[in-house]
Structure 1
Amino acid sequence: MLTARVRELGRRSLMFLMRRIRRNWWLDRVCIAFLVCVGAVFGLSYYFMNVMANVASQRSKIIEDQLGSRYTLPDVFFGFIGYVDLLWLTDMFDALMFVPTVLLVLSHERPWRVVSRLGLAWALASLIRITTVAITSVPDPRPTCKYAEGNVFTTFALHRCGDAIYSGHTLIFVICAMVWASFAPKNIIGRSLTVFVWCLCIAGSLVVIANRAHYTIDVLLAWYIAPGAWFTVAWFWYWHVTRKGRLLRIEFPVEVGRHRDKDTEEMCQRRRMELGLLADGTPFDPAAMYLGLARSREVQDSNTILHQVNEKDSETPEQMGMQDEYLIEVGGTPAVGAGYTAESDMERAFSEDFGTRPQHH
């Protein structure tokens, strides 16, 4: 009996997983190409950030040799936070931030959207760090750091000397926290986990300072730049992806306007109206639709009038009067200040796309 229940549970879990993959993870060719481009941009930005960090490290070695000693710049927080030589704690907080973020992506109903926003924001912040890490060299705050040696293009190291402005570890902390702030479930569990992740982010930043891996200014700059990169990508994504009806399998994998399976149809319709999108994801252009319907109505009216002229001689006066009334009704124009006429083509087109009728006043 227990074995049968376990098998049934496994079968249901597998069916749920396959259904979720088909509904939420399946992509078309355009979206796959887009994600490949995002991955390439992210990889290149991270690689060249490592190259510039090696350049900064080697230049710091030259400066130290010229000075003949290593010294530390004054830092207010160094006086409040004691020195802790436990660099593994800094890397551990990277893992502590990654694990819940990965779980959030796996459980989200629009996972590729989260991945895209995360990758683009991280890549943008990394591109900014490329321009800062090797521009101004400062004495390393950690007395036990090691300088990068060898070819700057093939050397990969963590916690090297000279890799200062600004903190890459804090960048990871804040970007992951921003993912939770934007995409966590809007319930008590989601909000509680978001607060927990932000507490981890603050604790990790303090650990970076305590390990003297960075100056406080490096950590603060990461706190300023990471949210800026995140909201820059969010702005670009909203206006050039969501509002334009692009990358639909990433933006709306189930249905245009649907964020979660539990969303009602009325909620999805309202989102589509607010975004200016039709049910198939194409942008809604009222002017173009009205002109197109006006042209089609002119053709329809012309055909009807021609048909009336051809049969005019065989109709009685009563029939002709009834037909005139019919023509007036079919060719009715939108009433001024009262929306569209009850049976106009514009209203029928609107109803087919949104499933509702405009309210008449």
Structure 2
Amino acid sequence: MAASQFPDSGEHASDSSGCHVEVTVADSSQATPPRQTHPASDTLDSVRKGDERPSRLSRSFAKVLRKNQDYIRITIPVTRLDRLPPEWWKTGLVFMWAGFNLFCTTVMITVVNDRVPNKSENPPLPDKFFDYIPRQEWAFKVTEVNGMILVTAWFFQWLFLKHRSIVGRRFFFLMGTLYLYRMVTMYITTLPVPSMHMNCAPKLDGDSIGMVHRVLQLLSGGGLTITGSHMMCGDFLYSGHTVMLTLTFLFIREYSPRSLWWYHLICWLLSAVGVVFILVAHEHYSVDVVVAYFITSRLFWWYHTMANNQSLRDSPHNYLNRVWWRYFFRFMERNVRSTVPCTFSWPVQLPTACFKMPCGRYSIVQSVREE
């Protein structure tokens, strides 16, 4: 009985799970019994043992045996364990987490604006960077343009990632958590304006309708000054612009090939220039930018250290597991059993039957029967 692989030449596999292994069983009932040995033939073989070429009779006899064999095709499906399941429903939940915290931060900005002290009574705090670098009015526009370029570049890069669902929920979780921290810090400590040029929106004094209007205006403009939607003060500690500039760059570099060094360099320059020009425009204190960079980068590295090292997840000696968001982490990364590779695919899955070849090309039995 012989076994070999048969390809399913009639149809193409739609995906990797559609590939199958076909075992061919040969019925050897019609084969001739073993050749009986004879002393004369043994003597003749011993004389001709130096000649290894098969005779014409033996070749013909073997050919007849192969042609008269009957084969039975048995299909055995091949199952593969998906170590990186998409789980889009989890990504949707984390997206809602990020959206909720962004909305709450916007509401908090409108609340804190009424708590900002009058700049005539409480002048800006001393800042070493402002002592040496005079304010440039156009600098903050450069910051926001750089931020929009980085966000757009990251969006299209994420769109073409093969494992975009896993990477997307990591990005949304970190962004939502960072804005949750920002909402807390701006509420517990309200700093005076960093520069005398800033004109804050009038205080509402409990006007709920006016607060709703300001929240909608801020959300519609993306919280950007360049769109004319952000005219409020108080959201200084820490800088939201620095968060987005840093976070998008870290994700761009992490989930793109290392060979694209020029792409990483351009994105790093956009991020670094944007952060520095926040200070050149005197829109934030230096401590706002430093704290924002520190929290963003450490949270990113902390999360990916836990995600990329399977041994750290359940280790009792891993102190990284003591963070408050460890339960959210386990929920999102429970079924991610390996490091997410940097591979790309089309955002819309095209019919793969037009592109994929059958699992096998030829089999041993086919090549023998075609002789």
Same fold (TM over 0.5): yes
The 3 A distance-change label for structure 1 pair 128 and 260 is closer
Matching of residue 201 in structure 1 with residue 253 in structure 2: no
* Deviation for aligned residue 1:70: 5.1
Q: Which moved more, 1:208-217 or 1:230-239?
A: 230-239
Q: Distance in 1 between matches of 2:340 and 2:146?
A: 34
Q: Find the counterpart in structure 2 of residue 141 from structure 1.
A: 194
The 3 A distance-change label for structure 1 pair 242 and 112 is farther
Aligned partner letter, 1:259: P
* Deviation for aligned residue 1:96: 1.8
Runs of 4+ in 1 over 6 A off after TM superposition: 239-250
Alignment of 1:169-188 (within 5 A): 169-187=241-259
Select 2:127's aligned residue among 48, 69, 75.
Answer: 75
Select 1:93's aligned residue among 136, 146, 160.
Answer: 146
* Deviation for aligned residue 1:129: 0.6
Select 1:163's aligned residue among 235, 239, 253.
Answer: 235
**Contact 2:308–2:339 (8 Å) recurs in 1:** no
Q: Distance in 2 between matches of 1:258 and 1:89?
A: 34
* Deviation for aligned residue 1:113: 2.3
* Deviation for aligned residue 1:124: 1.1
The 3 A distance-change label for structure 1 pair 104 and 201 is same
Matching of residue 123 in structure 1 with residue 123 in structure 2: no
Question: TM-score, normalization: structure 1?
Answer: 0.55
Deviations 1:115-156 (CA, angstroms, capped at 9, x unpaired): 121111111111111110121111111323323654345523
Aligned partner letter, 2:301: F
Alignment of 1:265-276 (within 5 A): none
Alignment of 1:290-301 (within 5 A): none
Q: Distance in 1 between matches of 2:148 and 2:202?
A: 24
Matching of residue 226 in structure 1 with residue 296 in structure 2: yes
The 3 A distance-change label for structure 1 pair 167 and 261 is closer
* Deviation for aligned residue 1:90: 2.9
Q: Distance in 2 between matches of 1:137 and 1:235?
A: 34
Question: TM-score, normalization: structure 2?
Answer: 0.54
Q: Aligned pairs, how many?
A: 228
Deviations 1:174-202 (CA, angstroms, capped at 9, x unpaired): 00111023112121xx2221122111111
The 3 A distance-change label for structure 1 pair 42 and 258 is closer
**Contact 2:236–2:288 (8 Å) recurs in 1:** yes
* Deviation for aligned residue 1:161: 1.5
Q: Distance in 2 between matches of 1:38 and 1:47?
A: 14
The 3 A distance-change label for structure 1 pair 201 and 159 is farther
Q: Distance in 2 between matches of 1:31 and 1:176?
A: 23
Instruction: Determine what percentage of the aligned residue pairs are the same residue.
Output: 19
Q: Which moved more, 1:174-183 or 1:88-97?
A: 88-97
Q: Distance in 1 between matches of 2:311 and 2:88?
A: 15
Q: Find the counterpart in structure 1 of residue 99 from structure 2.
A: 43
The 3 A distance-change label for structure 1 pair 171 and 114 is same
Which structure has the higher relative contact order (CA within 8 Å, separation 6+)?
A: 2
Q: If each structure's strand is expressed as a fraction of its own residues, which one has the higher value?
A: 2
Matching of residue 259 in structure 1 with residue 341 in structure 2: yes
Q: Distance in 2 between matches of 1:112 and 1:75?
A: 42
The 3 A distance-change label for structure 1 pair 194 and 74 is same
**Contact 1:75–1:216 (8 Å) recurs in 2:** yes
Q: Distance in 1 between matches of 2:159 and 2:336?
A: 16
Q: If each structure's helix is expressed as a fraction of its own residues, which one has the higher value?
A: 1
Q: Mind listing any 5+ residue stretches in structure 1 that lack a counterpart? A: 1-17, 20-27, 263-361
- Of the two, which has the highest radius of gyration? 2
Aligned partner letter, 1:49: T
Q: Find the counterpart in structure 2 of residue 102 from structure 1.
A: 155
* Deviation for aligned residue 1:36: 1.5
* Deviation for aligned residue 1:260: 5.7
Q: Distance in 2 between matches of 1:112 and 1:164?
A: 33
Alignment of 1:295-334 (within 5 A): none
